[in-house]
């Protein structure tokens, strides 16, 4: 995988400790590290140049604060800069209309994920109390309309199934759109989601069709759907779509991959339109409202811990969480709590996707990159089995677990003594780590804010 920006900066700044100011002389390497990190994240090179240029101006002459390493300070300036570029506001859907249904038109290149996003959005709108109606006007790709119909079934959303009478594709597209809107009105649906065929911004005929569709439906929202893995071309395709259609926002899909999502920055920079949603997973609940502060962390390699926290909040009982917090602080975090945590975490989804959201620095660094421990789901099952094989006393007070108890636990859980040892070692380390955090309110707060990378960087940077 790519080095995270903070890794790079740590190397650059190894020799910079003790310099009081960020100066022309010492900023060159830093800016080059930033440039490479952004390029690795697939941010368009022209956007990179601008961001790096701005960073130079802002960083020059700044005092290096005593509490921060220069690396942290540059990351902070850069992070603020990127947040500026991406816009600080979370952009909401505009569904106000005097004549329902409000129309959302999806647009994008082939394979960007329009159909899946359409169904996810329908599900999300339904949960918010709307009555969405779906239609696919993709008369080109084989089985595209069947695909949306099947997904609509999963999203429990009605879908327009009528076949067009016209043999001319453009006429068929407009006919479908018209008929679907009529049907949406008849059914009393308040939002019409229109899935369209994937197209190249170079394809005059299809882009013209899109403009006709726009004219016919006067959509509230035109969402440009783009693959998060897109490289340098994101700037151009988004720019062209926007020039020809004036889209109102973008959706970045396939965020569950390990791409760094620099396309978000490029798209926003070129079009000025907000990224409204992030799509991940093939499950229909895999759509989240976009928060610029989160993707910035990902582009910089700082992880996406905020998203994780939010997801955790919906899965974890709030009261339990508060109790846990108390336990962490008071050093009463038992193996039983550890097991509860494990179960909760597994409720959140596959561990892999969770790991990717963790920041790549600080205490979580070991979970990332090459040194990443091989934690597969099977191992979690074994850990749980080990804890299950302990007595209540052992779970509360791990100190009592001696050699013969370890043997018994290993036999009981079908594991080995080594595995039991390893688990106990990890558990002790974890307690120590939590203790460090609770001992230092400053560190704790910073971890929570994700304002800056964690403690390791400060110690080593």
Partner 1 sequence: MIQTLFGPEKKAGFLERLQNKMAGAVEKTRASLVSRVDEILRGKTEISPETLRELETALIAADVGAATAREIIAHLRQAAAAEPHMDAETARQLLQNELIQCLKVAVPPVENAAPPRVIMLVGVNGAGKTTTLGKLTQRYRDEGKTVILCAADTFRAAAGEQLQAWAERTGTEMIHQKPGADPSAVIFDALTAAKARGTDCVLIDTAGRLHTKDNLMQELAKMRRTAGRVIAGAPHEIYLVLDATTGQNGLQQARQFTAAAGITGVIVTKLDGTARGGIVIAIARELKLPVCYAGVGEKLDDLIPFQAETFVHSLFGGTAAFL
Interacting residues toward partner 1 by CB under 8 A: 1-2, 35-36, 39-42, 44-46, 109-113, 140-144, 146-147, 149-151, 154, 200-204, 227, 229-237, 239-240, 254, 256-260, 262-263, 282, 350, 352-353, 356, 376
Q: Which is nearer to partner 1, 35 or 327 (CB)?
A: 35
Distance in Å, CB of 292 to partner 1, minimum? 20
Residue (181 or 242) nearer to partner 1, CB: 242
Nearer to partner 1, 75 or 144 (CB): 144
CB contact set of 258 (below 8 Å; sequence gap of 6+): 1, 356
Residue 59: half-sphere exposure toward Cβ, Cα within 13 Å: 28
3-class DSSP state of 104: strand
- The CA distance from 221 to 281, in Å, is 24
Identity of the residue, 262 or 453, whose beta carbon is nearer to partner 1 in the bound complex: 262
Nearest distance, CB of residue 86 and partner 1, angstroms: 18
- According to DSSP, residue 2 is labeled P
Residue whose tokens read 């009605």: 158
CA distance 370 to 435: 27
Residue 240 or 336: the one with the smaller Cβ distance to partner 1 is 240
CB of 168 to partner 1, least distance (A): 17
Six-digit token string for 63: 């005092």
Closest by Cα among 179, 175, 136, 140 to 157: 136
Q: Given the DSSP bridges, would you call strands 191-195 and 102-108 parallel, antiparallel or unpaired?
A: parallel
Cβ 230 to partner 1, closest distance in Å?
5
Nearer to partner 1, 142 or 371 (CB): 142
Instruction: Determine the distance from the C-alpha atom of residue 268 to the mean position of all C-alpha atoms in its chain, rounded to a whole number.
Output: 16
Q: 102 Cβ partners below 8 Å, 6+ apart?
A: 94, 95, 96, 190, 191, 192, 220, 221
The residues pairing with 288 across neighbouring beta strands, listed in sequence order, are 278
To partner 1, the closest distance from the beta carbon of 151 in angstroms equals 5
Min dist CB 238 to partner 1, Å, is 11
Minimum CB distance to partner 1 smaller for 115 or for 415: 115
* Shortest separation between residue 40's beta carbon and partner 1, angstroms: 6
Indicate the residue among 73 and 230 with the shorter CB distance to partner 1: 230
CB of 73 to partner 1, least distance (A): 24
Residue 81's nearest CA partner among 345, 300, 402 is 300
List Cβ neighbours of 82 (8 Å cut-off, separation of 6 or more). Answer: 51, 265, 292, 296, 299, 300
Q: Which is nearer to partner 1, 262 or 359 (CB)?
A: 262
We find the least distance from the C-beta atom of residue 294 to partner 1, in angstroms, to be: 18
User: Smallest gap, in angstroms, from Cβ of residue 295 to partner 1?
Assistant: 15
Of 282, 230, 272, 216, which Cα lies nearest the Cα of 249? 272
DSSP structure string for 431-446: HHHHHHHHH-HHHHHH
Q: 273 near 292, Cβ under 8 Å?
A: no
CB 238 within 8 A of CB 250: yes
Contact 126, 159 (CB under 8 A): no
Nearer to partner 1, 170 or 232 (CB): 232
What's the rounded Cα separation, in Å, for the pair 327 and 45? 48
DSSP 365: G
Query: For partner 1, which is the closer residue by CB, 1 or 315?
Result: 1
d(CA 26, CA 21) in angstroms, rounded, equals 9
């Amino acid at each position: 995988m790519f080095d995270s920006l903070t890794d790079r900066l740590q190397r650059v700044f190894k020799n910079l400790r003790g310099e009081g100011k960020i100066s022309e002389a010492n900023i060159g390497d830093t800016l080059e590290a930033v440039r490479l990190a952004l390029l690795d994240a697939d941010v368009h090179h022209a956007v990179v140049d601008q961001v790096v240029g701005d960073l130079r101006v802002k960083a020059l002459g700044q005092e290096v604060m005593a509490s921060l390493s220069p690396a942290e300070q540059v990351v902070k300036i850069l992070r603020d800069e990127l947040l500026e570029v991406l816009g600080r506001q979370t952009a909401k859907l505009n569904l106000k209309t005097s004549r329902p249904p409000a129309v959302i038109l999806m647009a994008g290149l082939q394979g960007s994920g329009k159909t899946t996003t359409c169904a996810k959005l329908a599900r999300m709108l339904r949960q918010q109390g709307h009555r969405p109606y779906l239609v696919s006007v993709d008369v080109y790709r084989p089985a595209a309309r069947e695909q949306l119909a099947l997904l609509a079934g999963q999203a429990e959303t009605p879908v327009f199934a009528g076949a067009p009478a016209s043999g001319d594709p453009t006429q068929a597209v407009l006919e479908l759109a018209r008929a679907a809107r009529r049907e949406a009105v008849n059914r009393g649906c308040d939002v019409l989601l229109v899935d369209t065929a994937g197209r190249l911004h170079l394809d005059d005929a299809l882009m013209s069709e899109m403009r006709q569709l726009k004219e016919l439906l006067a959509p509230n929202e035109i969402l440009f759907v783009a693959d998060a893995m897109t490289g340098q071309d994101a700037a151009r395709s988004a720019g062209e779509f926007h020039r020809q259609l004036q889209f109102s926002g973008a959706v970045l899909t396939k965020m569950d991959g390990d791409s760094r999502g620099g396309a978000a920055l490029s798209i926003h920079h070129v079009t000025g339109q907000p990224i409204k949603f992030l799509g991940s997973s093939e499950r229909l609940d895999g759509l989240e409202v976009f928060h610029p502060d989160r993707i910035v962390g990902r582009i910089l390699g700082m992880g996406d811990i905020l998203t994780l926290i939010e997801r955790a909040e919906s899965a974890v009982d709030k009261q339990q969480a508060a109790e846990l917090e108390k336990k962490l602080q008071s050093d009463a975090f038992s193996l039983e709590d550890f097991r509860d945590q494990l179960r909760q975490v597994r409720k959140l989804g596959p561990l892999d996707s969770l790991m990717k959201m963790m920041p790549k620095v600080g205490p979580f660094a070991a979970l990332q990159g090459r040194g990443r421990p091989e934690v597969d789901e099977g191992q979690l099952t074994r850990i749980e089995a080990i804890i299950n094989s302990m007595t209540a006393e052992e779970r509360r007070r791990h100190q009592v677990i001696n050699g013969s108890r370890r043997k018994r636990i290993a036999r009981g859980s079908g594991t080995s003594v080594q595995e039991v040892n390893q688990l106990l070692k990890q558990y002790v380390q974890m307690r120590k780590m939590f203790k460090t955090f609770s001992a230092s309110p400053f560190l704790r707060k910073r971890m929570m804010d994700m304002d800056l990378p964690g403690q390791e960087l400060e110690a080593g940077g």
